[in-house]
Amino acid sequence: MDVLPVILAGGSGSRLWPLSRDLYPKQFLNLIPGQKSLLQETISRLEGLDFRAPLILCSEDHRFIAAEQLRKMGREDCTILLEPFPRNTAPAAALASFFATSALTDEQDLILLVLAADHFIADVTAFHGALLSAVSLAQSGQLVTCGVLPTSAETGYGYIEQGLPFEDGFVVNRFIEKPDQISAQKFIDSGRFLWNSGIFVFKAKSYLKSLQSLSPQIFEACKASTKVTTTDLTFTRVDQSEFDACPSEAIDTAVMEKSSDVVVVKLDAGWSDIGSWSALWQQADKDVANNVLQGDVVADDCRGIYVNAQSRLVAAIGLEDLVVVETKDAVLVAHKTRAQDVKKIHLQLKNSGRPEYKNHRVVYRPWGMYECLDSGTSFQVKRITVDPGAKLSLQLHHHRAEHWVVVSGTAEITNGDSTYVLNENESTFIAVGQRHSLKNPGDVPLEIIEVQSGTYLGEDDIVRFEDLYGRS
């Protein structure tokens, strides 16, 4: 039984704003106390199954976050395949299929287990049982999906109608996109419908054959983009220009809804896609008043609320069925029944060009992180943390100068033709247009305060000459 888990980690998680941002989306967050990030949990729950090391698909923007989280798990055996552009799940599965089968002979095949990186599973044993049933069906050439036993008339999920029994599953009669409330209740009352989990199991070559027949544009674009792949560090890239021509479509509509070889296996394992704040409230531990209070929160006479305080005290009085999420640069207040509409706020912020849709004040880089502490029309103050042994690229800026003060640790500075070491409470100045770099030669994190001044302070005012992390 040769099974390759394919974990799709390219989503934006806009409905979990302001915690989830475009450059640090929900799959990389620790949303449930006591657990690792959703991506790490997805990988961990495959332990105990005799499968290959997972193949992770993510975007260029998230590659270093994914690699660091894998490193912290000791899972450098996982391969990271980069999607040049977001094109939904059907092209992602096609890239994985072409990549995984490129080294196989015509007689060999491989079963793919396609999972989202941002789901929650409460019962891992039941999850394993459903996967093994799905793998057994896939071995006979079926395209298999996992359908979740519904617990309510949820309008945020798609539905699958079960047909006749087929071995350990059921023939799929039809897929239905997210319904209205009345239709969802009818589906629940009938007993024939399951929630669409977005978990798929199929032979790689069976999927590609179906894709070629049913969605040939996706097939051809993905085939062309994987003819020549390149690798740097731990990342594998496909041809961007070829992939740019690929339509964006989900596996469901590109293949599953059009195929006659689809079966569904029931999944009763406490599944959730953690797709909204109300879904997260449902999964979290609650107090006697049905409240979920995370962080520094004081509540009085509140019922059924979700409050997440990230950076300061949040006090709540007399609230019911509300969501309150506080971060360093934004606060969300919403009714739980409107949790799906948070993506509308995310879109408004994006369309108006505000940075809060994209970044937190803390921004992660392959060498560490930085936090914007203050900014004005011609200045910006950052706290920069450089990991032991890490180094920023050799670079220059055309429009800004920088003052660096070492707060803790030791800094090795390249400033023009000079290289020197700074210790705590020492400082240096980088002039506009001066080539410079910063390295942490020590065994503890290096922290510096950077004061930028100039006519333009955008992150795109960076010209790199040397970089350890393959950034152009």
β partners of residue 236? 81, 231
26-58 pLDDT per residue, tens:
999 999 888 899 999 999 999 999 999 999 999
Is residue 169 packed enough to be buried (19+ CB in 10 Å), middle (13-18) or exposed (0-12)? buried
Average pLDDT over residues 263-269: 96
Asked if the model's pLDDT at residue 197 lies above 90, the reply is yes
Q: What is the pLDDT of residue 442?
A: 95
DSSP one-letter string for 364-382: EETTEEEEEEEE-SSEEEE
456-465 pLDDT per residue, tens:
998 889 999 9
319-364 pLDDT per residue, tens:
999 999 999 999 999 999 999 899 999 999 999 999 999 999 988 8
293-318 pLDDT per residue, tens:
999 999 999 999 999 999 999 999 99
Rounded Cα gap, residues 245 and 82, in angstroms: 16
Rounded Cα gap, residues 339 and 277, in angstroms: 6
Write down the pTM of the prediction. 0.90
Rounded Cα gap, residues 215 and 138, in angstroms: 20
Average pLDDT over residues 17-34: 93
Domains and CATH numbers, the chain: 3-272 (3.90.550.10), 287-346 (no CATH), 362-466 (2.60.120.10)
Asked if the model's pLDDT at residue 1 lies above 70, the reply is no
Task: Report the half-sphere exposure of 75 (CA within 13 A, side-chain side).
Answer: 22
Q: What is the pLDDT of residue 472?
A: 66
Q: What is the pLDDT of residue 154?
A: 87
Radius of gyration in angstroms for the set of CA atoms belonging to the chain, rounded to a whole number: 24
Q: What is the pLDDT of residue 104?
A: 78
Rounded Cα gap, residues 459 and 447, in angstroms: 20
353-391 pLDDT per residue, tens:
999 999 999 888 999 999 999 999 899 999 999 999 999
Average pLDDT over residues 189-204: 95
Average pLDDT over residues 288-294: 97
Rounded Cα gap, residues 233 and 278, in angstroms: 39
Rounded Cα gap, residues 78 and 52, in angstroms: 9
Asked if the model's pLDDT at residue 232 lies above 90, the reply is no
Q: What is the pLDDT of residue 146?
A: 97
pLDDT bin (cut points 50, 70, 90) of residue 470 is confident
pLDDT averaged over every residue in the chain: 94
Rounded Cα gap, residues 333 and 335, in angstroms: 7
Q: What is the pLDDT of residue 35?
A: 85
Rounded Cα gap, residues 434 and 401, in angstroms: 9
Rounded Cα gap, residues 273 and 117, in angstroms: 9
DSSP one-letter string for 123-163: -HHHHHHHHHHHHHHHHTT-EEEEEEPPSS--SSS-EEEEE
- Range in 6-10, 23-27, 31-35, 442-446 the model is least confident about: 31-35
